Structure 1
Amino acid sequence: MDTNLKIWDIRKKGCIHTYKGHTQGISTIKFTPDGRWVVSGGFDNVLKVWDLTAGKLLHDFKFHERHIRSIDFHPLEFLLATGE
């Protein structure tokens, strides 16, 4: 199980960035509606917010008791929902 998040350019057919930080596999991924960030949830019970422009981790949330199965963004507010 891969612990890295990879961003692929499908036109160039290659990986353009790899984000490392999860200690176990990634179970779900979601882009923000504006496409600036990507959020990953893992089997390590951690939610990570990655900045695609800067190429770095913005924040990680460690409040889940089990692995994160789902992620979604509110369509109008700056809110993120996660599920175990």
Structure 2
Amino acid sequence: MSDTGEAQPDIWTRRARPAFLYVIYALLLWSIPMGLIAGINPDMAAAITAGMRAYLNALPEPLYALFGTGYLGYTAARAWGKARGSER
């Protein structure tokens, strides 16, 4: 067993959790340049916001449900395994 609790030391599995957090951090940090753009050119900031909203709304709802189910299912299974003591 590796120190991550994985049966096989798979670099993609170990990178998946931090990669998700990096995406969230990037989305949060994007608010800084967007604030500057909005201060300089509000119309451009509105156009960027509208484009991002259109893109996110174009993603199918089942994809969001699949992500949520997978993320919550993984979290519950991991917590259950740790509570049983089979995972560290």
Task: With the length of structure 1 as denominator, give the TM-score of the two structures.
Answer: 0.18
Which is strand-richer, 1 or 2? 1
Task: With the length of structure 2 as denominator, give the TM-score of the two structures.
Answer: 0.17
Which is helix-richer, 1 or 2? 2
